[in-house]
Amino acid sequence: MTTLQWGGRFDAEPDAALLAFGSSLEDDLVLAPFDVQTSLGHVRALAGGTVISADDERALRDALLTVQREIMDGSFTAFARGGAFEDVHGAIDARVRALAGSAGESLHAGRSRNDQVATTLLLYARDRAAAGGKLALAIADALEARAADALERGTLLAATTHWQPAQPVSLAFWLDAAAQGFVRAADRFARVVNDAKRFCPLGSSAVAGSSLPLDRTAAAYALGFTAPSRNALDTVGDRDVALDLAHAATRAVLTASRASEEFVLWTTPAFGYATLGDAAATGSSLMPQKKNPDPFELVRAAAGRALGTYAGALATTKGIGLSYHRDLQETKAQIVRGTEHALAALDAFARAFDALRFNDDAMTAHAIDGYTVATDLADAMIAGGATARAAHTAVGERVLRAEREGRPLDATDLAAIGVPQAPLDGNASLAAKRTSGSPNHDRVTESIAGTQREIASIMRELA
């Protein structure tokens, strides 16, 4: 049995090296279970249009379900790698023909790999976006759980801008802030899931639909789509949802990368804000004392890889016309590689975060270092009638004096600027905050509760 799905009009064998160059099998193997689903949908379209008999429908379904089991136990991968297949789609077609006999010769009736691949990618995007969204929500939930604990402990932290001490906040406030990015990441994944359920490409064939009476609606419903796609010329080359998946995955890893950057710094002796458990840390082959936060560093690197593959996928689509062009094979590979690595990075981040332990005393001890309460003093002056510029200048002068004298801001500074009740410690600074979204204990409590409700809502969308 030939491994190629074409060849009748050719009178010479293809160049083996060029055939190998054009093969996407290794990149495609992850798509195998989704291609089986697509093929089962196409069998429904064939049967619904009476293109095949009931006996052939049963034979094709049985063969595809066998392939599905072989994918699960790994034997299909060995079969696919053992043949000179162009892609996983051709490998499945060949295996079905071997299992179903003459009925297998009808599986590809009215179908092109163009609509087959487009449908398979949508099913893949739906599955991986749901997985990515649940991962992002699990991370957000873990951050919020740790935030609630940190709020009870009253751990303080010097928030930074430009990596310089800025204002006192609570560790709970920082953790709640980090959770927001993962909630947004989950929401982007959820939108991909919804978009991947809209229009089914099956039945578009190569570019202009089919003369066979395929039941496209039955196939679409069987595969969980709302309706068949409207224009065959568009749908066979449309990769918007797959690109949106790559975008959502990239953005999620960027979110994890930003948090990882802080955790890498926090675990250094210079900060001493956190330690990473042995199960997540690694050592040095030379230096016996080393304990490295490698998972967080690799998550930062994964963000770079995700950015590169996403940019490559976008660039591959920019210069091709409507309908299918073989360039899209590279887009498929980039999307699959980028998505799989991004999801692995999110999982690694979640595991490493679970092994991270915070040093509350070190954080709290440094919460007002660098004169982080200076803004509170300026605010107190403004509340007392000073202009913003005058307050800024007056407090700045007191900071300069305290810095030269090697001391923190104290009651003498409050007396000098006329605000004897202004906050001088981290807890007083937080208590003085009045706006929503601030690190005030009550406002953080509200934010955690609101975020947890949002997590639950998005999880219902992904269920």
- pLDDT 10s digits, 269-318: 999 999 999 999 999 999 999 999 999 999 999 999 999 999 999 999 99
Q: Does residue 162 have an active-site annotation?
A: yes
Q: Does residue 284 have an active-site annotation?
A: yes
Q: Looking at this protein, which amino acid is placed at residue 290?
A: K
- Residue 381: the pLDDT is 98
- Domains of the chain in start order, with CATH, are 18-111 (1.10.275.10), 114-198+210-365 (1.20.200.10)
> Residue 20 — very low, low, confident or very high, per pLDDT cuts 50/70/90?
low
| In contact, 372 and 158? CB cutoff 8 Å | yes
Q: Once rounded to an integer, what is the mean pLDDT over residues 92-111? A: 96
143-180 pLDDT tens trace: 999 999 999 999 999 999 999 999 999 999 999 999 99
| In contact, 183 and 451? CB cutoff 8 Å | yes
Integer Cα distance of 99 and 60 in angstroms: 9
The distance from CA 190 to its chain's CA centroid, rounded to whole angstroms, is 11
> Residue 19 — very low, low, confident or very high, per pLDDT cuts 50/70/90?
low
Name the active-site residue from 53, 75, 284, 457: 284
Q: Once rounded to an integer, what is the mean pLDDT over residues 2-25? A: 67
**Mapped to the 3 state alphabet, what secondary structure does the chain carry?**
CCCCCCCCCCCCCCCHHHHHHHCCHHHHHHHHHHHHHHHHHHHHHHHHCCCCCHHHHHHHHHHHHHHHHHHHHCHHHHHHHCCCCCCHHHHHHHHHHHHHHHHHHHCCCCCCHHHHHHHHHHHHHHHHHHHHHHHHHHHHHHHHHHHHHHHHHCCEEEEEECCEEEEEEEHHHHHHHHHHHHHHHHHHHHHHHHHCCCEECCCCCCCCCCCCCCCHHHHHHHCCCCEECCCHHHHCCCCHHHHHHHHHHHHHHHHHHHHHHHHHHHCCCCCCCEEECCCCCECCCCCCCCCECHHHHHHHHHHHHHHHHHHHHHHHHCCCCCCCCCHHHHHHHHHHHHHHHHHHHHHHHHHHHHCEEECHHHHHHCCCCCCCCHHHHHHHHHHCCCCHHHHHHHHHHHHHHHHHHCCCCCHHHHHHHCCCCCCCCHHHHHHHCCCCCCCCHHHHHHHHHHHHHHHHHHHHHHC
| In contact, 297 and 286? CB cutoff 8 Å | no
> Residue 28 — very low, low, confident or very high, per pLDDT cuts 50/70/90?
confident
Residue 373: both structure tokens together: 């309460």
How many CA atoms are closer than 13 Å to the CA of 271, on its beta-carbon side? 21
Name the active-site residue from 89, 108, 112, 162: 162
Residue 8 has pLDDT above 90, yes or no: no
Residue 40: both structure tokens together: 């089962």
Q: Looking at this protein, which amino acid is placed at residue 413?
A: D
| In contact, 172 and 151? CB cutoff 8 Å | yes
Q: Which of 69, 94, 67, 64 is nearest to 1 (CA)?
A: 94
Q: Once rounded to an integer, what is the mean pLDDT over residues 118-130? A: 98
Integer Cα distance of 61 and 107 in angstroms: 10
How many CA atoms are closer than 13 Å to the CA of 365, on its beta-carbon side? 7
